[in-house]
Structure 1
Amino acid sequence: MLKIAIIGVGAISAAHVKSYLEFSKRCQIVAICDVFPEKAEKLKTQFNLTVDIYDNHKDILDRKDIDLVSVCTPPYTHAEISIDFLTAGSHVLVEKPMASSLAESDAMNEAAKKNNRILSVVAQNRFTTPMMKLKKVLDTKLIGPIVHTQVDSYWWRGHSYYDLWWRGTWEKEGGGCTLNHAVHHIDIFQWMNGMPSEITAVTSNTLHDNAEVEDISIAIAKYDNGSLAQITSSVVHHGEEQQLIFQGKNARVSAPWKLKASQSQENGFPIEDKDLEDKLQHYYDQLEDLKYQGHIGQINNVLTAIEGNGEVLIDGIQGRQTLELITAIYESSSLGKKVKLPLTEDSPFYIREGVIKNATYFYEKTKSIDNFGSNKIT
């Protein structure tokens, strides 16, 4: 029976608790920690847990029974907490984004390697049936070389969203919608299509004058083969539609699922390629739905890896690549230049202090509250 500790009991922690409880024959939550211990007590009561409550994660480090730790704290704390537990001998599942800088990500990966521990970064949207099916369709190469990708990560958040004490600042949140919302789709984009060779981006803050960070960004990624991708990250879009569209030489596929294949007529105008559409649709339809999805799917994956029956789908290297793309977007937009990948220690955005110094500050954060009356998230 694997023993679990949860660090941080903000809105996302409930998803972790529910997921672990789904596998109650394989694991048991034994510790919860938050700087506001009354919040930890509330979570304990809500789920009728038998756990020890802590207000400092360092007080748990000497325990020898903690196999896996879920880190659900604000991003600027992820590196320290993760490294502490990896060094103490625990495996770590850390919420997105994995850290506030590439330097912190590298330190986390080094700690995992040195201590032979699993470090997994939450990217629960990979563990959904539509995304997993799309990935497998792309892996067939039937659509041909990818020539254009469209990533629309559209969300909507009200003005008060950034009143929470750690949100809306470069120091504590580490960025805006690109880092904390579009991270899901940027992760899936690089998982499905690989890393581009350069980024050109612009950011803005259009509706949230209580935040230093952006509420919309638009980036263009270019690959060495000439393929382009456009990535839009937003918390100003009513309706919150999200999609990934891959245009191949032979066909177009997307999540949500949509398929179109074309051939050329003699005059160059398109005609439907029904045979290829039927082949792609048949392959898509015969793929099985995932048994476990979202956080439950990822936690099942991590538990299975700890039990020695497989590898994690999202390790610290994958988490670092996603953060690298986001960091490149911030560097390009803030400095007004094209940014080449991969990013190295020479990047002014490699360390957290460099991000804080060089990032664009749109507004001053003028309001800070400890907690909202409702923790409900969508």
Structure 2
Amino acid sequence: MPAPIHRIAIVGTGAIATAHAAAMRAAGRRARLVSVVDLEPGRARAFAAEHDVPSVYPSLAELLAHEDVDLVHLCTPPRQHTPLAIECLDAGVSVLVEKPPALSLAEMDALVAAERRSSAHVATVFQHRFGAAAVRLRALTEAGRLGRPLLATCATLWYRDDDYFAVPWRGSWDSEGGGPTMGHGIHQFDLLLSVLGPWREIRALAAKRARAVHTEDVSMALVTFAGGAVATVVNSVLSPRETSSLRFDYEHATVEVEHLYGYTDDDWTVTPAPGHEDVLSRWPGGAPSSPSSHDHQLTAVLDALDRGDPPPVTSADARNTMEFVTALYASAFTGQPVRSGEITAENPFYRRMDGTGAPWAVVAR
């Protein structure tokens, strides 16, 4: 039986929407981009013409009223992610939402509740989970083939100048929910969390050093995992030599990746511990190399929808990463360690990532 054809719409036709359209083309006959939505009609029409999309709508409500779609890709600015995703779920339409899926744990829990009352599903775009090397590393870790994970480092060191933050919705707690912790490093430490499993405690700092923003422009954290591993996490938009890197030190090997916005197998290295050279045979060289990309996540999403399963990355997966972000800010702004599960509805950081306010906001007044 041939695989079903999924009718898909994109909401928001900014830069990242191009990657989503490309992923649909890569999916072949399984995915058909039938509609786009954008508040700017000219931009929507131009995008539709470029990608051969038959219909354009000015709002998600009109799209859902007039089109029969199976999946909506949300590519809007972050503030709109949760309300639009809930609108899709309430209409019984599954949704793939760009990161971050919500601006707070409160919003994330509202999204989880909407999924529970719907027949549809929500997934978050964390495409770094889907490269072949990451899939292999998780399998080896779960099987204990590399020994126990002991130590990890995770760095997202990027450079964004003042012109980048001139876009009105950037650099604001209200519109982005945070700075590089929320909007840039989240891809890297989501991959870290997917490999090392549940985190237990975080101690952090965040600072505003150079950019004219309301949020932080750099953050750092020390993390303890339930399995015993410890990790450092650094997120920056102040770093002229840009890099994204992860290093995992296991009992029997060090596994590392360095890239910028996406990796292939060639970006990974494995260094065995003395006496454990056989580890290299568990990381096959010359294997087909699928990169981290929207293409491979969309394939996984379509596979899940074909089976009737919740697509990856599930709302539970995304909530774990969002709780990590929340805890990082809470620790940074209170000066106290924060444990998993500690931020409940009564905590000020539950409803806003800046909680009672960033320290530099107090200084500014």
**TM-score normalised by length of structure 1:** 0.86
Q: Residue 48 of structure 1 is aligned with which of 10, 32, 52? A: 52
Distance 2:286 2:319 in 1: 30
Letter in 2 for 1:54: Y
Q: Which residue of 1 aligns with 2:36?
A: 32
Q: Which residue of 2 aligns with 1:18?
A: 22
Query: What SS does the aligned partner of 1:239 have?
Result: strand
Greater mean deviation of Cα atoms: 58-67 or 86-95: 58-67
Deviation at 1:119, TM superposition (A): 1.0
For residues 188-234 of structure 1, the C-alpha deviation after alignment (integer angstroms, 9 at most, x for no partner) is 111100122111101112221x2111111100112356532100011
Higher relative contact order (CA 8 A, sep 6+): 1
Distance 2:309 2:280 in 1: 30
Is 1:196 aligned to 2:199, yes or no? yes
Letter in 2 for 1:202: L
Q: Residue 103 of structure 1 is aligned with which of 98, 101, 106? A: 106
Query: What SS does the aligned partner of 1:19 have?
Result: helix
Larger fraction in helix: 2
Query: What SS does the aligned partner of 2:319 have?
Result: helix
Distance 2:222 2:290 in 1: 35
Deviation at 1:69, TM superposition (A): 0.3
Does the C-alpha gap of structure 1 residues 61 and 145 become closer, same or farther in structure 2, counting only changes over 3 Å?
Answer: same
Deviation at 1:308, TM superposition (A): 1.8
- % same residue: 29
Query: What SS does the aligned partner of 1:349 have?
Result: helix
Deviation at 1:62, TM superposition (A): 2.0
Q: Which residue of 1 aligns with 2:152?
A: 149
Name stretches of at least 5 consecutive residues in structure 1 with no aligned partner: 263-271, 365-378
Deviation at 1:250, TM superposition (A): 3.1
Name stretches of at least 5 consecutive residues in structure 2 with no aligned partner: 258-266
Distance 2:227 2:291 in 1: 36
Letter in 2 for 1:245: R
Is 1:2 aligned to 2:6, yes or no? yes
Is 1:229 aligned to 2:231, yes or no? yes
Letter in 1 for 2:356: N
Query: What SS does the aligned partner of 1:252 have?
Result: strand
Does the C-alpha gap of structure 1 residues 140 and 287 become closer, same or farther in structure 2, counting only changes over 3 Å?
Answer: farther
Letter in 1 for 2:251: K
Does the C-alpha gap of structure 1 residues 225 and 86 become closer, same or farther in structure 2, counting only changes over 3 Å?
Answer: closer
Is 1:134 aligned to 2:134, yes or no? no
Distance 1:135 1:184 in 2: 16
Deviation at 1:260, TM superposition (A): 2.9
Do 1:69 and 1:85's aligned partners in 2 also have CA atoms closer than 8 Å? yes
**TM-score normalised by length of structure 2:** 0.89
For residues 25-76 of structure 1, the C-alpha deviation after alignment (integer angstroms, 9 at most, x for no partner) is 122222211122221112112223222x222222223235111000111111
Q: Which residue of 1 aligns with 2:338?
A: 339
Q: Which residue of 2 aligns with 1:182?
A: 185
Q: Which residue of 1 aligns with 2:260?
A: none
Is 1:65 aligned to 2:68, yes or no? yes
